[in-house]
Amino acid sequence: MLSSQSDRSRLARIPALGLRALALVSLSILLMVLDHRDNHLDAVRRAISAAVYPLQIVVAAPTRFWVWVRDAGATRNELRLQNSRLKVERLLTNARLQRFTALEAENDRLRELLEARRQVRGEVRIAEIIAVDANPYRHNLVIAIGQQDGVYDGQAIVDVNGVVGQIVEVGLMTAQAILISDPDHALPVEVNRNGLRTVAFGTGEFDRLELPFLPNNADIRAGDLLVTSGLGGTFPSGYPVAIVANVTRIPQEPFADVTATPAAALNQVREVMLIWSASPAVESADEAND
Amino acid sequence: MISTRASRHLPAVITILLALMLTLVPLPKALAPFRPDWVALILIYWAMTAPSSYNVGTAWLIGIFLDVAQGTLLGQHALALCVVVYITIKFHLLMRVFPLLQLTATVFALLALHQFLLFWINGVTAVTAPAISYWAPVIIGSIVWPFLSMFLTGVRFRAQTGN
């Protein structure tokens, strides 16, 4: 019974409420310090994330169900149209791929001639997004593969159009990723046209990145494609990141005001691709894949 | 005995789980900043009505869950919820006799404190300062409160009479 009378009599049974609150607050602060300083608590997080996993599955269920209903309810005609469109797309892609294979071989040969390092070619795997956490100061998503599949910290995530983000936390069956538009995210990029190197920062808006460290006289203009430079060691080089949207040069200021629009549809993706690229992780990832 | 104890906790457990889900469910970009703090609201309610069963320990545990699920600093939500629930329990006898308007104002203050604590921790750990929209959940939460508390009271009494 939950009448207020019995509650009042039970009040005495919360022993030292203030002390307990103080202890828990101190514990929270300790946890935050440990978590912020280094990643001492990764194991703890992993354990708790396994407990949160069922909740995330339940939360994602309505969306999954809706997608299922939409797929199941698609008429034969729609499916036929989609099928023919996909066939055409596949033909075109295959044609392009033929050229690509030849170019790749040629590139390798030329690199050998130049005695340059061979480029690493990454494994790719598709992962479903099960949760998105987006607010002005945090852009996160959770994907449905994790440690079991060989996902590792810092792994690059792309979609069909460009870079989406990178993994920041690996749970047992899920992994959490930070988007390139997160205000805390910075990504080494280069201008595809001339190899000009810089860093692209997230802004907290899905459709805007900032490039704050470009001098006024830098050779950059609206419409330039930015690709990953691979210099941070996290991302493989050559993936499209963003297209320069706006360049404002203010004569008195040392740096130009440059913004760019991400190539990937950051707030519309449902599936992403994970790339296994960094050389130490490649073996373990391959093992996990096999 | 155990079954009656379990059924006594059932309404709170279910509503807290629902609040967690509502917090995690993805919303369209335009609506996302206006999502009220469901977990804080539900915990305030249960701390006010049944402080001996749901107190700072519950709040802390739920907070840790939320931190892991949302990928925030471990302990951030735990601290904020803990403080809010502590204050709620300190004043719960008073809050029970408040008229609805005054109670809503109190909840507004509690939600503002909750949001401020999160905001402050973000600031200390150098997460970029957000826009004014940061305070929208507080206002939406206060608007939601009267309906939520009426609904929960209904649920509670139904559960009791069902016993």
Q: Which residues of A touch B71 (CB under 8 A)?
A: 133, 138, 140, 168-169, 176
Q: Do B65 and A24 touch (CB under 8 A)?
A: no
Number of structural domains chain A divides into: 2
Q: Which residues of B touch A206 (CB under 8 A)?
A: 29
- Last residue of a domain, which of A60, A90, A114? A114
* Pairing mode, strands A186-191 and A175-179: unpaired
Which segments of chain B have a pLDDT < 50?
Answer: 1
A interface test, pick of B7, B43, B52 with most A CB neighbours within 10 Å = B52
Tokens 């920041």 belong to A168
Q: What is the DSSP letter of B34?
A: G
Q: Identify the CA nearest to B25 among candidates A66, A172, A42, A165.
A: A66
Q: Identify the CA nearest to B10 among candidates B18, A11, B63.
A: B18
Cα dist from A172 to A169, A286, B158, whole Å: 10, 18, 40
User: pLDDT (tens digit, 9 = 90+) per residue, A159-171?
Assistant: 888 889 989 888 8
pLDDT band at A134 (very low <50, low <70, confident <90, very high): low
The answer to which of A160-164, A198-202, A231-235, A279-283 has the lowest mean pLDDT is A279-283
User: pLDDT (tens digit, 9 = 90+) per residue, A203-226?
Assistant: 888 888 998 888 888 888 888 999
Q: Is B50 on the interface with A (CB under 8 A)?
A: yes
Q: Identify the CA nearest to B123 among candidates A32, A26, A209.
A: A32
Q: Is B127 on the interface with A (CB under 8 A)?
A: yes
* ipTM score: 0.81
User: pLDDT (tens digit, 9 = 90+) per residue, A14-60?
Assistant: 667 888 889 999 999 888 888 887 767 777 887 888 888 888 788 77
Cα dist from B158 to A2, A49, B19, B139, whole Å: 12, 34, 20, 29
Is residue A1 scored above 70 in pLDDT?
no
Minimal Cα–Cα distance from B35 to chain A, Å?
A: 10
* Pairing mode, strands A225-228 and A186-191: antiparallel
> Is residue A177 a part of any domain in this protein?
yes
Window A:200-229, CB contacts with B under 8 Å:
204, 206
- Give me A247's structure tokens: 């360049």
Contact yes or no for A173/A240 (Cβ under 8 A): no
Instruction: Tell me: do A262 and A228 sit in the same domain.
Output: yes
Residues 6+ away with beta carbon under 8 Å from A53: A171, A172, A173, A174
The domain spanning residue B8 has which CATH number?
1.10.1760
> Is residue A141 a part of any domain in this protein?
yes
The enclosing H or E element of A6 equals: helix A4-10
Number of structural domains chain B divides into: 1
State residue B59's pLDDT score: 92
User: pLDDT (tens digit, 9 = 90+) per residue, A155-204?
Assistant: 888 888 888 998 988 887 888 888 998 888 888 999 988 888 899 998 88
Indicate the angle between helix axes B100-124 and B136-162, nearest 10 degrees: 120
**Domain region containing B98:** 2-162
Instruction: Tell me: do A110 and A126 sit in the same domain.
Output: no
For residue A167, the chain B residue with the least C-alpha distance is B71
pLDDT band at A135 (very low <50, low <70, confident <90, very high): low
Instruction: Tell me: do A180 and A227 sit in the same domain.
Output: yes
The enclosing H or E element of B80 equals: helix B76-90
**Domain region containing A208:** 121-290
